[in-house]
Structure 1
Amino acid sequence: MLLKTLFHLLGAIQFCYGCYYDAVYVNIPGSAAPTLGGKLKYLTYLDAIVQSIYFTIAFLNDLFGNNESTLSEKPLIRRIKDILFCALAYPVAMFVGISFWGIYAVDRELILPRSLDPYFPTWLNHVMHTNIVIFVLIELISSFRMYPTRKSAMTILSTFFLAYFIWVHVIYFKTDKWVYPILAVLNWPIRIVFYLFCLGFVSSLYFLGEKLNRIVWSKEVERTVKSGKKKAK
């Protein structure tokens, strides 16, 4: 229990500091990136905020909530923690990490041009794009959560991504610059296909997380379901 609490505290401190450092000390010249939206134009930064919120809530839940695998007497902070991890923290972190390093391996100029290296330190890059994956995977295997209904989780996840796609285009139409260089090399039909692929990919990551949770925590899931049926009777 103590190790889990310290892990959540480390995650909260790490991602909060990463967001703070990025916002205060990483100043990219306007010629290198559109200024509208500030850091909030990047999915990486939005995800880091999500991770900061999640690990802070997880830490507070360790102190004041309940980590038991039961539906009864489940405090509000625990319910928020569970749905936040399932619907956003896990799938978005996996999406950001996999897509970033995947594109980086093909051509880093499409995702993080070398011209930005003087402004974006390597350690921060790993906090934002590597540690997010490591921490949510450790969280998945070290803390039990009961997944919400697919409808509610997918509604939250889809709304988050659709809102971000709209936000990216608002920035483009206001500044005539794409947030990510990769979008500039795609024509509109291919760009739409790219967005649909991203939405499908992050959805598959959600289902993968749900399946992994069921495998890792099979006994707890079964116990929770039985507890819920007894309570319903």
Structure 2
Amino acid sequence: MTNGLALATYASVLLFELYSFHENAQLKNRLDPDKINDRFKALSRFGMHFFTIWNFGVQTLFLCTAVLDELLQILTPKTKLQKSIQYVRHVTFSTIVFPCTLLVVTVFWTIWHIDRELIFPKALDDFYPAWLNHTMHTFILVPLVIEVAFSQTVDKYHVLERSLLGLLAFAGTYQTIYFFIYIRHGIWLYPIYGVLNWMQRIVFVLIKVIACTLYHYVGVALLTRNKTRPEPQKLL
């Protein structure tokens, strides 16, 4: 993909995600307060604390760096600034965007097909547009496909390998805040937690951590394809 076409593609996806973010934020203001059910009120109150939103926000920031990187590759290629932006782009993608996006998609749709009431109750359909639901939980795969298919392979294997620590820190921070909301307000943002006991909740979290870790290594492998692990220097 040429830089011009890549820039246009990333910019188009970014604009759509920014529009979707805006529409998601404005939902509450466009609804009649007397007709909103309790589940949507909770969603609105703690909207920024859903992992879906965290992931969507980071993905949007990643797209900003991708657009800027592609633009700099056209205007001032191989400068220190361009290489720095590209480094941030690759690390953000491998650390959070790739594994967390796959986690959101697989967990959401798996639970949805088992019992949607455990993840996105049908009552929300009256307030939350279907297109926005698919944007947050399906369309987010598009930037992954674009980046993996057309981005240059990365020659920073060790840096990306260590990015697992960043991923675990991100996931750990979210999970801590998630449980704090329940302890402080008595609300489970995702209904599935309400039907599990504490042992099952811990197992569920561990399964997500394992899945996210596996997705991370898949992302690193894809970004470093055609690149070999550097040989250790021999001591004289």
Same fold? TM cut 0.5: yes
Q: Which residue, out of 193, 205, 213, partners 1:203?
A: 213
Deviation at 1:73, TM superposition (A): 8.4
What is the Cα-based RMSD across aligned positions, in Å? 2.8
Q: Which residue, out of 114, 123, 138, partners 1:130?
A: 138
Q: Which residue, out of 13, 16, 19, partners 1:14?
A: 16
Residues 91 and 202 in structure 1, CA contact (< 8 A), matched pair in contact too: yes
Deviation at 1:212, TM superposition (A): 2.8
Deviation at 1:148, TM superposition (A): 5.1
| Whole-angstrom distance in 1 between the partners of 2:145 and 2:37 | 36
Residues 94 and 160 in structure 2, CA contact (< 8 A), matched pair in contact too: no
* 1:80 paired to 2:82: no
Q: Which residue, out of 34, 53, 68, partners 2:61?
A: 53
Residues 103 and 211 in structure 2, CA contact (< 8 A), matched pair in contact too: yes
2:126 partner SS: coil
| Whole-angstrom distance in 1 between the partners of 2:196 and 2:127 | 26
The answer to which of 135-144 and 197-206 deviates more is 135-144
Cα deviation 1:80-133 (Å, max 9, x = unaligned) = 111001101111111111111111111111111100001111111111111111
Q: Judging changes above 3 Å, is the alpha-carbon distance between structure 1 residues 73 and 225 closer, same or farther for their aligned structure 2 residues? A: farther
Residues 16 and 49 in structure 1, CA contact (< 8 A), matched pair in contact too: no
Q: Judging changes above 3 Å, is the alpha-carbon distance between structure 1 residues 148 and 86 closer, same or farther for their aligned structure 2 residues? A: farther
Is there any run of 5+ residues in structure 2 with no aligned partner, and where? none
Deviation at 1:31, TM superposition (A): 1.4
Question: Percent of aligned positions with the same letter in both sequences?
Answer: 27
TM-score by length of 1: 0.85
Q: Judging changes above 3 Å, is the alpha-carbon distance between structure 1 residues 78 and 46 closer, same or farther for their aligned structure 2 residues? A: same
* 1:192 paired to 2:194: no
Q: Judging changes above 3 Å, is the alpha-carbon distance between structure 1 residues 89 and 148 closer, same or farther for their aligned structure 2 residues? A: farther
Is there any run of 5+ residues in structure 1 with no aligned partner, and where? none
Deviation at 1:52, TM superposition (A): 0.7
| Whole-angstrom distance in 1 between the partners of 2:138 and 2:103 | 11
Q: Judging changes above 3 Å, is the alpha-carbon distance between structure 1 residues 88 and 37 closer, same or farther for their aligned structure 2 residues? A: farther
Q: Which residue, out of 114, 119, 142, partners 1:106?
A: 114
1:112 partner SS: coil
Q: Judging changes above 3 Å, is the alpha-carbon distance between structure 1 residues 204 and 26 closer, same or farther for their aligned structure 2 residues? A: farther
The answer to which of 80-89 and 30-39 deviates more is 30-39
Aligned equivalent of 2:39: 32
Q: Judging changes above 3 Å, is the alpha-carbon distance between structure 1 residues 163 and 209 closer, same or farther for their aligned structure 2 residues? A: same
